[in-house]
Amino acid sequence: MSNKAKQNEPLVTHIYTADPSAHVFNDKIYIYPSHDLDHDGESNDNGDQYKMEDYHVLSMDDIDAPVVDHGQALHVRDVKWASKQMWAPDAAFKNDTYYFYFPARDKEGIFRIGVATSKNPEGPFVPEDNYIEGSFSIDPAVYVDDDNRAYMYFGGLWGGQLEKWQTGEFVADAPDPDENGPALGPMVAELTDDMLTFKSAPQEISIVDEDGNPLLAGDHDRRFFEAPWVHKHNGYYYLSYSTGDTHYLVYAISKSPTGPFVYKGRILEPVLGWTTHQSIVQFKGKWYLFYHDCSLSGGVNHKRSVKFTELKYREDGTIVTIHPYADEEK
Ligand code: FUB
């Protein structure tokens, strides 16, 4: 148990946490974060500093209630196919079961996405023997639609290896896409009814500007980098994501869960630290953005902390851009 949750402050301070996927289960907020390891090892563009080995699940009975750490929910040693780097996870509920989705490197060093199950939202989760066939790259986010169909969104550039799959096969030394050509989009795959496999091969999502032109790979302020997340508001699917090297959280909208999505704007200005990663959830009539920064560690990129803040829409459905340290700047 920790102190009461407060907006824009670390949810917990006894461990480093990142990449929060927040869900409302049983009228409580459950947060599925990465668990950052405290170490002084090498840092590079490959993301080797993100050495995470396990996951903890957090929960709050209310938005200002104490945060409960339910302890270890899954460890890499218990995942037969995985070797290291348990990165950003997500969870979903269907079939009276909680499903926990997580990326990790397989024994060949290739990122894959696995699934584990539990009867309880806090776990512990029991992993399947193999990763999801046809999965690759990182940052799974699962959206269960109103018609009960479930979609997994995933993908991340650079350390997340998405650009290495441009041919449909893993190419270890694949170049980044041409800066003047279309950017790589996140992937989407519908899940089978048992939530354990893909119904069909993942498809790339197209993100376009207001004129319908695909965002270009050189448009680093707007193009997809990692951390896809989908929520629904007023009949539109909102795809939010990180722009990576420009450090914005942005969003695009669509009438279809598989896109194309039209770019609309920024959700969060850069936080302290290189990565930025979010989830958006509605709780008791208000909307919240869960995100992370590195303020607790004084700016160490791989020692992050999960925070949350209220998110507001304008009448036309656009999101009001959040300035993460606005109160401190006043
Ligand atoms: O936490 C490791 C990686 O950093 C995540 O998978 C990315 O989204 C970024 O936050």
Nearest atom of ligand 1 to the alpha carbon of 227 = 8
Q: How far is CA 157 from the centre of its chain?
A: 13
> Is 138's C-beta closer than 6 angstroms to any atom of ligand 1?
yes
For the CA of 50, the nearest atom of ligand 1: 2
Strand partners for 122: none
| Nearest CA, atom 5, ligand 1 | 88
pLDDT tens track for 145-180: 999 999 999 999 999 999 999 999 999 999 999 999
CA distance 83 to 228: 24
* Side chain identity at residue 193, one-letter code: D
Contacts of 20 (CB under 8 A, 6+ apart): 11, 31, 32, 33, 277, 278, 279, 290, 291, 292, 306, 308
Q: Do 50 and 33 touch, CB atoms closer than 8 A?
A: no
- Ligand 1: residue of 50, 229, 300 to mutate (most ligand atoms within 8 A of CB) is 50
Give the rounded distance of the alpha carbon of 73 from its chain centre: 18
Sheet with 305-311, strands from edge to edge, namely: 279-283, 286-293, 305-311
Per-residue pLDDT band for 42 (boundaries 50, 70, 90) equals: confident
Per-residue DSSP letter, 313: B
Give the whole-angstrom CA distance, residue 251 versus residue 289.
12
- Round to whole Å and give the CA distance between 98 and 110: 26
263-320 pLDDT per residue, tens: 999 999 999 999 999 999 999 999 999 999 999 999 999 999 999 999 999 999 999 9
- Regarding the beta carbon of 139 and ligand 1, being less than 6 Å apart is answered yes
Q: Which of 102, 139, 276, 304 to mutate to test the pocket of ligand 1 (most atoms within 8 A of CB)?
A: 139
| Rounded distance from Cα 330 to ligand 1 centre (Å) | 30
Q: What is the mean pLDDT of residues 177-193?
A: 98
Flag whether pLDDT at 2 surpasses 70: no
Q: Are 190 and 182 in contact (CB under 8 A)?
A: no
Q: Which of 11, 113, 9 is nearest to 57 (CA)?
A: 11
Indicate if ligand 1 lies below 6 Å from the C-beta of 88. yes
How far apart are alpha carbons 148 and 143 in whole angstroms?
A: 9
Q: Measured in angstroms, how far is the CA atom of residue 316 from the centroid of ligand 1?
A: 31
Whether 43 has a pLDDT exceeding 90, the answer reads: no
Coil, strand, or helix at residue 77?
A: helix
Residue nearest atom 2 in ligand 1 by C-alpha distance: 87
Q: Give the tokens for residue 175.
A: 């170049």
Cα–Cα dist 88/103, whole Å: 7
- The CA distance from 312 to 43, in Å, is 36
* Cα–ligand 1 centroid distance for 277 (angstroms): 7
- Cβ partners under 8 Å of residue 318, min gap 6: 264, 265
Nearest CA to ligand 1 atom 1: 87
Active site members = 19, 226
- Per-residue pLDDT at 3 exceeds 90: no
Contacts of 188 (CB under 8 A, 6+ apart): 151, 152, 153, 154, 202, 203, 205, 257, 258, 259
Q: Average the pLDDT over 23-51 and give the result.
A: 94
Task: Indicate whether residue 34 lines ligand 1 (CB < 6 A).
Answer: yes
Partners of 214 in beta bridges: 208
* Measured distance CA(224)–CA(312) in Å, rounded: 22
Residue reference for tokens 């909680």:
98
Which CATH number does 16-205+273-311 carry? 2.115.10.20
Task: Give 18 Cα–ligand 1 centroid separation in angstroms.
Answer: 8
* Ligand 1 atom having least distance to the Cα of 226: 8
Could you tell me the distance, in angstroms and rounded to a whole number, from the CA of residue 160 to the centre of ligand 1? 8
pLDDT at 1 over 70: no
Residue 242 Cα to ligand 1 midpoint, Å, equals: 10
Listed by start position, the domains of the chain span 16-205+273-311
Bridge-based pairing state of the strands 207-208 and 226-233: unpaired
Asked whether residue 330 carries a pLDDT value surpassing 50, the answer given is: no
- Within 10 angstroms of residue 35's Cβ, the number of other Cβ atoms is 21
- Enumerate residues 6+ apart whose C-beta is below 8 A from 293: 271, 272, 273, 276, 304, 305, 307, 324
Q: Are 274 and 299 in contact (CB under 8 A)?
A: no
